[in-house]
Structure 1
């Protein structure tokens, strides 16, 4: 079957493959047998908790000895301990009152009878198992670990939640049976492996769906550069590893995009509707003008014919008067149409100006983006927000905040040798490695050019130096690939602690000075300032 499996997940996968190879149905019994075969362990028989509790309820309580026996029996059942039950039954049978003989005498007590004082004391689980007892503080810490993780890993698995709650209750008992605890932990770990795999699958599916939505919005908006930039930045921000801080930031940025896009759409629709109304009114007025012009033309033609037939000035006077009135009416209608069209033109100009203003505003919104479009990490604006947020949190909780200023070593030579596109790719490579290497609570942003700042909350300067040095080692282990050429990227860094009531700029200047000390000391180093 290949190399032996070591983790519960690997054992479970090998068990599934074994069932498939043997063409056995994946029933619980078959899977359990295959699992123990792969793991090299013996199947543990399930503890009949419900049946033993029924037996305990039926036990008599008429004498002090019976009351004591029932209490010890319930205690052994609560511990899931076969050893305790066996020892209790042996002690009880060895010290039970002698049976009455047929002649009224007492049957002789067996020579191997256990003294009564032994039955009066509960058996020690550690003595029964021959192992040292578990320290109470360790058991409580283990119970806390299981209890805290239950809402996350057992959200959709009722059986896993029941097993976890039962394990927590057992860990918080005064004493534990080592074999029982080992079995309960093994069962819980086996069930937990499936729950964790399912949660990871759900998480990856949700991230994939979110990325697909972002890419779809990007694809249907080719004529909106601002929106496309936002969508590309959101795709990068949704890449794992994720943390609560990154998700909160992603949510805020997506909300800004949605609100701004809704406003832009509403204003664009209003402008388009105004343009449609303007064009419709213009065409209507033009048609009306054409009709009225034809009517006036007919009237003028009738007047001309009447003038041709006139034989005296008396005949001409009413015709001329009618022609004058027709001309005045034509002029009034023409002026009204001109005024209406002029108003429509002004409204169209205002609508066009509104569309242009909206486009300029969308272009300007790119300056308000909190993430650097090249590397996907925070830009200066985003860094400022992160620093403000962490300093306020540190003031509330009384913790410490450090910052590290990084500068890529020999970046100008890299640009001159490989080109500016390779330089941009190198900065993106550094940001990608940093996202994988840094702790979930840490935040990195591009400060400018080839400089980056890392915000390290709840961290001492010594711990901050360790975090940055780990990033240096990870960067050395993951070489930058340009074409077929592997390039080692290094950086020098200065680390300092943010002091209370100190401007952030002063701390950055102190970190910058420490960074230059690191460069003078030979580069690829970390100095405190």
Structure 2
């Protein structure tokens, strides 16, 4: 099998090969057993602390030997040490089976009966290692805080973590026990982390799939399609709690606005449908009435042809006159109704046009730039307002950085506007990867960007922006197969309590121009 594995990585690889050779599934338990087999160690079994403590309390302590055994037993239980328990039981059973000494006088090194705690052996002192509370307590706190994240669906991992936290908070620790507990927890934790990462990626993929296909519900709504495209961009990793809060607020706004617009559109469509139905009904009635009057007029004409005298013609003429008056009255009524229908149709059309204008105006409520996927001006205003209120509550500081791409006009003139747009998108993508999770980036206008840096001093903010400059130089923009170096100059300033945001942006803008004059690709503080 080659040279024996020595590092944890080599042991893990050998364990995977061993599972594959034995055709065993790589479950956490199988992998843990194979790892310990390759490493030549024993896996730590669950320690029955409560049961062993109950046994320790029940042990007799009438003689010095019983008192010493009980003390050492309880100490081994407190340390979760199977090795100490095994050694103690073997020694005790061996002493119990050996003949008593010939002399009744206890040796000089015997422990006096009234001693509170027997002196530990040399090997016990070597194995017992007090860990500084400055290390043990933070380590226990880290494990305790991360358990809800990584062990939500793994009861065994949660038990191991809770046991390890309790053990780290003891005053003294048994070195082999602590080593094995940490190793077993780390291996089980690796599976829990992989599982959580898989769940996260699956949920993000599901969200993107829903957002990408939901526009099929409203194929003739370009506003909704734009909003959904912006939401897809916002759901790209890396994610943070702030980005998720912003995504949730934007999605809620889209749903509410779309529901309102749809309800109003449905009402307008219903009005149009009713108008058209009434119009067709009136046309049908007019056709029927016209046929009836035509039949009456025809009857009057035939009666006039048969008339022999004025006396015979008089009632026919009177009937024709009444029929003509009724026809005129019905015609006027139909004209009035059709005029009303036309007015209703005009009002319905005006309502539809108003709704279209409202949807166009709602596009201005989008908080993300459709080209780069980062915040636009409105989104930046919301982000700065949110962070300043958070800073007031927590007593922290907020900085902003104004970035301007160097020689962007020359890039546009040389490579074209499409390449310029792609360069801005490249800068935004690098910024999302480079910035800290709590930072927010937005496009202020043209080739200018603003970064909001919460809980940050100006010196720290400048360091963050300088790191972004280095990352942008390391990841060149590709125009086709041609690499293009993109740089920017930046000004950094701190938001002062109660001042208008425009004043802080103006200070950052002045610092950015100082960086331009100093040679570009620099960061200046204001």
> Taking structure 2 as the reference length, what is the TM-score of the superposition?
0.91
- 1:43 aligned partner: 42
2:491 and 2:524 in contact (8 A); partners too: yes
Shift of 1:341: 1.6
Q: Is the 8 A contact 1:129 1:177 kept in 2?
A: no
Tell me how far apart the structure 2 counterparts of residues 445 and 18 of structure 1 sit (CA, whole Å). 51
Provide the C-alpha distance between the structure 2 equivalents of 1:502 and 1:11, rounded to a whole number of angstroms: 59
- Mean Cα deviation higher: 137-146 or 272-281: 272-281
- The 8 Å contact of residues 402 and 460 in structure 1, kept in 2 or not, is answered as yes
Residue equivalent to 2:111: 115
Equivalent residue pairs, number: 523
- Change in CA separation of 1:274 and 1:123 when aligned onto 2, cut-off 3 Å: farther
Supply the distance in 2 between the matched residues of 1:129 and 1:25 (Cα, whole angstroms). 40
SS of residue paired to 2:499: coil
Q: 2:273 aligns with which of 259, 272, 276?
A: 276
Aligned to 1:212: 209
Q: Check the 8 A contact 1:230/1:257 in 2, yes or no.
A: yes
Partner Cα distance (2:336, 2:242) in 1:
60
Q: Is the 8 A contact 2:64 2:112 kept in 1?
A: no
Question: How far apart in 1 are the matches of 2:246 and 2:361?
Answer: 21
Contact 1:5-1:14 within 8 A present in 2 as well: no
1:90-139 CA-partner distances (Å, limit 9, x unpaired): 887899999889xxxx7657979743478833648995335752102211
- CA contact 2:44–2:184 (8 Å) conserved in 1: no
CA contact (8 A) 1:125 1:176 kept: no
Following the alignment from structure 2 to structure 1, what is the Cα–Cα distance between the partners of residues 96 and 14?
A: 51
How much does 1:280 deviate?
Answer: 1.4
Q: Which residue is 1:85 aligned to?
A: 85
SS for the counterpart of 1:240 is coil
Task: Give the superposition deviation at 1:266.
Answer: 1.0
Partner of 1:32: 32
SS at match of 2:490: strand
SS at match of 1:80: coil
Flag the 1:5–1:525 CA change in 2: closer, same or farther, 3 A. farther
> Structure 1 residues 33, 172: CA separation in 2 closer, same or farther (over 3 Å shift)?
closer
**Residue by residue, what CA displacement relative to the aligned partner does 1:59-81 show, whole Å, maximum 9, x if unpaired?**
33566874674354234223211
Residues 476 and 490, structure 1, Cα contact 8 Å, conserved in 2: yes
Q: 1:326 to 1:62 in 2, by over 3 A?
A: farther
Q: C-alpha displacement at 1:386, in angstroms?
A: 1.0
Q: Is the 8 A contact 1:491 1:523 kept in 2?
A: yes
Correspondence 1:417-496 to 2 at 5 A: 417-496=414-493
Counterpart CA distance in 2 for 1:16 and 1:346 is 79
Distance 2:64 2:318 in 1: 135
SS of the counterpart of 1:446? strand
Cα distance in 2 for partners of 1:2, 1:258 equals: 62
Q: Decide which of 327, 330, 350 is 1:330's aligned counterpart.
A: 327
- Say if 1:28 and 1:112 are closer, same or farther in 2 by CA, change over 3 A: farther
Q: Distance in 2 between matches of 1:298 and 1:6?
A: 109
CA contact (8 A) 1:98 1:108 kept: no
Cα pair 2:128 2:172 within 8 Å, conserved:
no
Preserved contact between residue 125 and residue 175 of structure 1 (Cα < 8 Å) = no
Q: Aligned to 1:486, what secondary structure does the other structure show?
A: strand
What does the per-residue CA deviation read over 1:221-252, in whole Å, with 9 as the maximum and x for residues that have no partner?
Answer: 44222111111111000000000000000001
In 1, the alpha carbon distance for the partners of 2:501 and 2:298 equals 87
Q: Which moved more, 1:112-121 or 1:312-321?
A: 112-121
The whole-number CA distance in structure 1 between the counterparts of 2:320 and 2:146 is: 97
Q: 2:48 & 2:318 partners in 1: Cα distance?
A: 118
Quick check: 220-229 or 106-115, which moved more? 106-115
Task: Report the more deviating stretch, 118-127 or 471-480.
Answer: 118-127
Residues 324-382 of structure 1: CA deviation (Å, up to 9, x unaligned): 11111111222222222221221111111111111111112111211111111111111
Decide whether aligned partners of structure 1 residues 335 and 186 sit closer, same or farther in structure 2, where only a CA change above 3 A counts: same
Q: Structure 1 regions of 5+ residues with no counterpart? A: none
The structure-2 alpha-carbon separation of the partners of 1:100 and 1:127, relative to structure 1 and needing over 3 Å to count, comes to closer
Q: Which residue of 2 aligns with 1:523?
A: 520
SS in structure 2 at match of 1:205:
helix
Residue 321 of structure 1 corresponds to which residue in structure 2?
A: 318
Separation of aligned partners in 1, 2:240 and 2:383: 14
Structure-2 residue corresponding to 1:262 = 259
Aligned to 2:153: 156
Q: Partners of 1:64 and 1:110 in 2: how far apart?
A: 11
Counterparts of 1:234 and 1:164, CA distance in 2: 38
Q: Distance in 2 between matches of 1:23 and 1:126?
A: 42
Q: How does 1:358-397 map to 2 (within 5 A)?
A: 358-397=355-394
Secondary structure of the residue that 2:390 maps to in structure 1? helix
- Distance across 1 between alignment mates of 2:323 and 2:15: 102
| Contact kept in structure 2, 1:98 and 1:109, CA below 8 Å | no
Change (3 A) 1:226 1:17: farther
Secondary structure (helix, strand or coil) at the match of 1:355 reads: helix
> TM-score, normalising length from structure 1?
0.90
Say which of 323, 342, 347 aligns to 1:345: 342
Question: Is 1:409 matched with 2:409?
Answer: no
Judged with a 3 Å threshold, the aligned counterparts in structure 2 of structure 1 residues 24 and 164 are, in CA distance, closer, same or farther, namely closer
- Residues 1:122 and 1:467: Cα distance change in structure 2 (over 3 Å): farther
Q: For residues 233 and 333 of structure 2, what CA distance do their matches in structure 1 show?
A: 59
